[in-house]
Amino acid sequence: MIYLDTVFLSTKIFVILNYNFMSKKKALITGISGQDGAYLAKFLLNKGYEVVGGERQNASGSNWRLKDLDIEDKVKIVPFELLEDSNINDVIKSGKFNEIYNLAAQSFVGSSYKSPILTSNINGMGVTRILEAVRQFSVKTKVYQASTSEMFGNNSDKGKQSEETDFHPVSPYAVSKLYAHWMINIYREAYNIFCCSGILFNHESPLRGKEFVTKKIVTDLAKVKYNIIPSLKLGNIYSQRDWGYSLDYVEAMWKMLQQKKPDDFVISSGMTYSVKEFINKAAKHYDFDLIWKGKGLNEIAIDKNSKKTIVKISSQFFRPTEVDYLYGNSSKAHKILKWKPKTSFDDLISMMCQNELKKFS
């Protein structure tokens, strides 16, 4: 009797263990130290995934974003360098991943003019390296590629941009991403690999890199308020962007890989605002009441109460070529993925400003 009980119990344990093993999906997130990598890791952990994060050797170091989200000890970090074929092959061959989210990139448009070759190699060739590794060693693994609205560039249609809109990239960054975007299409068609591109419009958060305009605005306005710097200096404040919240957008990435068929999707908020509108809304959180004066490089914003110059324009921050207008149409994602953004533009700005202000309280 005792023997039978033991057999029954061990079979039960085996079944439970085996079930857990079978049911737990394993994902590789490249660029885990970045904004989206951190939010996606948290999102997938909440879904019960085993999360492996790819990180390059000279990574920014502290993994402050994972710490901020309190998940640093919940993800396994492996060395992952998009410039190195053998490294990518090893990770993908041995990892047996159900899903790979390729979020790693030289992601800043501004730097892509200074380092066009490096940008092309990381963002373009890096994706081919991943796809080749999947094709050779792990053909059942699903791949998500971080494409971008920058690929639409200066398409002269002034309507909203959807999956049907022609691409007209105008920066080395956008060209490198378009190369990767087409490679995803080719590997899907030619080799039947489940790979998708999410054409994501700008998305921000308190974890956004400091070189991007929204983060720069909210941090520098706080520094101006507390007299750490005299003013916020910017380039083109008339470009328009469709800004959303990163945490909302990582859900769409995951949903793309849960579909029956691989496909590409535009992910956007469906609203567009100028950089200047972002500044005006953000300034209110710092009790600045801005009045704009002058034109071009002489344009400034003055605080009505203190008469202090809060914003100045500097030629240093203009780009050699600019995307003037981004405005997304995500109706395909609404329909097929049942995805919609949850966070409004005003709430996003409020969240980012509060996060900066609390550093001074």
Site residues for ligand NDP per CB under 6 A: 30-31, 33-37, 56, 59-60, 80-83, 103-107, 122, 146, 148, 200, 202-203, 209
Residue 36, binding choice from ligand NDP, ligand GDP, none, Cβ under 5 to 8 Å by partner class: ligand NDP
Cα–Cα distance for residue pair 133/88, rounded to 1 Å? 7
DSSP state of 328: B
Query: Cβ(116)–Cβ(172) under 8 Å?
Result: yes
CB neighbour class for 65 (10 Å; exposed up to 12, middle 13-18, buried from 19):
buried
> What's the min distance (Å) between Cβ of 211 and ligand GDP?
6
Residue 264 near which of ligand NDP, ligand GDP, none (CB within 5-8 Å, type-dependent): none
Least Å distance, CB 269 to ligand NDP, is 11
- Render 245-311 in DSSP notation, one character per residue: EHHHHHHHHHHHHTSSS---EEE--S--EEHHHHHHHHHHHTT--EEEES-GGG-EEEETTT--EEE
Q: Which is nearer to ligand GDP, 131 or 352 (CB)?
A: 352
Name which of ligand NDP, ligand GDP, none residue 182 binds, using a CB cut-off of 5 to 8 Å depending on partner kind: none
Six token digits for residue 276: 């200047």
Q: How far is the CB of 108 from ligand NDP (least distance, A)?
A: 7
- Among 68, 358, 316, which residue's Cα sits nearest to residue 226? 358
C-beta separation of 323 from 150 below 8 A? yes
Active site residue 179: no
With CB under 5 to 8 Å by kind, the binding choice for 241 among ligand NDP, ligand GDP, none is: ligand GDP
| Distance of closest approach, residue 253 Cβ to ligand GDP, in angstroms | 18
CB 209 within 8 A of CB 107: yes
For residue 50 the two structure tokens come to 């085993």
Q: Where are the beta strands (DSSP E) in 201-304?
A: 203-204, 232-234, 240-241, 244-245, 265-267, 273-274, 290-293, 300-303
Asked about 309 being catalytic, the answer comes back as no
Report what 306 binds from ligand NDP, ligand GDP, none; CB cut-off 5-8 Å by kind.
none
Query: Is 150 labeled as catalytic in the residue annotation?
Result: yes
Q: Quick one: 165 or 313, whose CB is closer to ligand NDP?
A: 165
Residue numbers of the site for ligand GDP (CB under 6 A)? 109-110, 150, 202, 211-213, 216, 234-237, 239, 241, 275, 317, 319, 322
Q: How far is the CB of 332 from ligand NDP (least distance, A)?
A: 17
Token pair listed for 270: 């469906």
The CA distance from 32 to 34, in Å, is: 5
Q: Which of ligand GDP, ligand NDP, none interacts with 319 (beta carbon under 5 to 8 A by kind)?
A: ligand GDP
Dihedral sign computed on CA atoms, order 112, 116, 118, 123: positive
Closer to ligand GDP by CB, 231 or 236: give it.
Answer: 236
Catalytic residue among 148, 165, 219, 343: 148
Which residue is closest to ligand NDP by CB?
34
Please give the residue whose beta carbon sits closest to ligand GDP in the complex.
239
Active site residues: 148, 150, 173
